[in-house]
């Protein structure tokens, strides 16, 4: 292990003998769709139980729980990571912690898990993130202190999650990137269609069946605790559909209005979908992997997090990817696959142009424009999808990265073993 920090470049770390064993995710339900009434905790339980099973271990083998949730959207969300651990069969003596780095939170859980193992505080860590954006509440801050007649002030917390009050709303940052790099609406639409087409091709060949857990109404029962009951709609039998996905037509896309700026490039069709879902992975030491005879998906080589002007926050992956390559002693030409979260089409294209990326190796199974961006779950989903595709293609190195609200970026470097 070797850490790195620089006030301009960011901070990062290289790891020795730490592995992403396996993982699973829920299907991503569209806004107000099939998963709309499922609490983020329950979404996390579905994903975590499946991740533990796919990893070939038991809940009792987990030493730490690292979980993320951005928009608290259930009354018991304060207890979310602890409840996910308990109801996933992880022993009651195993602590749990919630982590938050907005859109990088899913990555942050993997980074934290790897660091806990490196420090000798664990052999294994359950890492992941969950989000129910449909259940995001409408709130009245300060209501407990009273209000003047007719002066009740409510906030939509889903909108607030997309609005950086220190700079500009997230969508406007994408428009700033578009202006900086001369990205047109046609550029954005073409990229968005490619993302959707890639997803549909991957779906057709059954790729996502390897990571999506089939969901049914369920009861999660643990001795001595109050049973959790989840009721899905009647049509949801073995539910495993990413509901946000729909075929793309460039002519129809070109007619959609700009959302964030007059004559802007970003529309509803070339921005990430607002969805509900969770993703979990198991991270473990090499000693644990060897003792249990496991076959991990990938080795976690290094991670890096950087920061930049919040007005162009979508370019966050650029310094993060440069830094993770630097501390690992690699160059971009060594990387066979890249996943960069598609918060917005212009945001991805800006990163693509600054890094001079080969689009053919980026987001090869589609991205968030197709299947959606459940904030806390995305980093975990990207890491799992990338590791699985690296294995399928026999690619040695891959990087997963995302921009982060407020002007940050995180990247993790994985090695196929």
**Is 240 one of the annotated active-site residues of the chain?**
no
Two structure tokens written together for 284: 């473990």
How far is 30 from 28, CA to CA, in rounded Å?
A: 7
How far is 122 from 130, CA to CA, in rounded Å?
A: 23
List C-alpha distances in Å: 224 to 72, 87, 221, 370.
Answer: 26, 11, 9, 42
Residue 117: closest CA among 333, 235, 287:
287
32, 103, 240, 351: the active-site residue: 103
Exposed e or buried b per residue across 316-331, where buried means at least 16 C-beta atoms within 10 angstroms of its C-beta: bbbbbbbbbbbbbebe
Residue 126: closest CA among 416, 339, 380, 297:
380
Two structure tokens written together for 350: 């800006």
127, 351, 362, 403: the active-site residue: 403
**Is 403 one of the annotated active-site residues of the chain?**
yes
Place of tokens 């693509």: 352
3-state secondary structure of 17: coil
Two structure tokens written together for 52: 């533990």
Residue 41: closest CA among 224, 278, 391:
278
Quick one: 256 exposed, middle or buried, by C-beta within 10 A (0-12, 13-18, 19+)?
middle
User: Are 347 and 173 within 8 A, CB to CB?
Assistant: yes
Q: Any idea which residues carry the catalytic annotation?
A: 103, 403
């Amino acid at each position: 292990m070797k850490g790195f920090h620089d006030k301009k470049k960011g901070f990062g770390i290289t790891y020795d003998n730490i592995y992403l064993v396996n993982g699973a995710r829920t299907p991503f339900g569209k806004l107000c769709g099939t998963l709309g009434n499922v609490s983020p905790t329950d979404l996390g339980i579905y994903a975590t139980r499946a991740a533990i099973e796919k990893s070939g271990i038991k809940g009792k083998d987990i030493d730490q729980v690292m979980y993320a949730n951005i928009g608290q959207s259930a009354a018991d969300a304060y207890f979310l990571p602890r409840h996910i651990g308990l109801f996933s069969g992880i022993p009651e003596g195993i602590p749990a912690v919630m982590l938050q780095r907005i859109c990088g939170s899913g990555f942050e859980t993997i980074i934290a898990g790897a660091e806990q193992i490196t420090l000798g505080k664990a052999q294994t860590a359950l890492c992941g993130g969950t989000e129910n954006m449909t259940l995001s509440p409408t709130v009245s801050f300060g209501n407990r202190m009273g209000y003047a007649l007719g002066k009740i002030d409510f906030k939509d917390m889903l909108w607030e999650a997309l609005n950086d009050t220190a700079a500009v709303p997230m969508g406007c940052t994408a428009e700033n990137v578009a202006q900086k790099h001369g990205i047109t609406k046609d550029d954005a639409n073409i990229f968005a269609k490619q993302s959707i087409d890639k997803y549909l091709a991957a779906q057709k060949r059954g790729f996502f069946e390897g990571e999506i857990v089939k969901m049914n109404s369920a009861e999660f029962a643990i001795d001595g605790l109050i049973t959790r009951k989840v009721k899905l709609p009647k049509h949801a039998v073995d539910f495993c559909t990413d509901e946000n996905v729909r075929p793309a037509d460039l002519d129809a896309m070109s007619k959609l209005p700009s959302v964030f700026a007059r004559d802007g490039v970003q529309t509803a069709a070339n921005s990430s979908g607002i969805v509900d879902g969770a993703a979990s992975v198991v991270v473990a030491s090499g000693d644990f992997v060897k003792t249990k005879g496991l076959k991990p998906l990938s080795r976690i080589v290094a991670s890096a997090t950087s920061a930049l002007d919040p007005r162009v926050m979508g370019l966050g992956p650029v310094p993060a990817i440069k830094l993770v390559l630097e501390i690992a002693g690699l160059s971009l030409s060594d990387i066979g696959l890249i996943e960069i979260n598609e918060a917005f089409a212009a945001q991805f294209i800006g990163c693509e142009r600054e890094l001079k990326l080969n689009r053919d190796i980026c987001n090869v199974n589609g991205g968030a424009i197709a299947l959606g961006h459940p904030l806390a779950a995305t980093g975990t989903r990207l890491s799992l999808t990338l590791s699985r595709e690296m294995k399928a293609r026999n690619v040695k190195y891959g990087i997963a990265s995302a921009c982060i609200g407020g002007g940050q970026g995180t990247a993790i470097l994985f090695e196929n073993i």
